[in-house]
Each structure stands twice: as C-alpha cells, then as structure tokens.
Amino acid sequence: MNSQSQLQDDSTAVRIPTDIDSGQSKLVYLSVATWERATADELCDRLRLDKGTVLSITKTLRKRGHLEKSDGVYRLV
C-alpha cells in the first residue's frame, strides 16, 4: 500500500495520512471526511469526546495541513 492507509466501502475510499497516529485523531479525521464538514461541538457530541481533546486534535490536524477551519467549521484540505 502507498503512504496512506485506506478504508473503503461500496462507493468511496477515505485515505488516512500516515502521520496521523492516534486512534482518536483518525476518528476525527474520518468523521470530518465522512460528514464533509463539522464544528468542534458536533465532533464532541457525535464522537463523545471532550472539547479539549477535540480542539487539541483539530489543532494538530490543521498544523499538519489535513484540516482547515473557516467560521468555526472544519473541512478536509
């Protein structure tokens, strides 16, 4: 396999960048990919993670160039 892990269903494939190591980070990444957009509160509610955890993960994913944030909404880059 190439430099990314792959999760595939009937019609789509989501590639998880290899520099995303933790399970919670992968979950946040996959969730934003699946929902196409999400706020921190939506991620907290849907994934049952505390806000500090979500904000830390999204900050790291933004720094690594995987997410962007506009008007409080996260999307994949």
pTM, two decimals, is 0.82
Report the number of distinct structural domains present in the chain.
1
d(CA 16, CA 43): 18
Element at 4 (helix H, strand E)? strand 4-8
Q: b/e string for 35-48 if b means 16 or more Cβ within 10 A?
A: eeebebebbbeebe
* pLDDT per residue as tens digits for the range 10-55: 456 889 999 999 999 999 999 999 999 999 999 999 999 999 999 9
CB under 8 Å to 74, separation ≥6 — which residues?
Answer: 32, 37, 38, 39, 40, 43, 58, 67, 68
Q: Which amino acid is at 72?
A: G
Q: Return the CATH number at 27.
A: 1.10.10.10
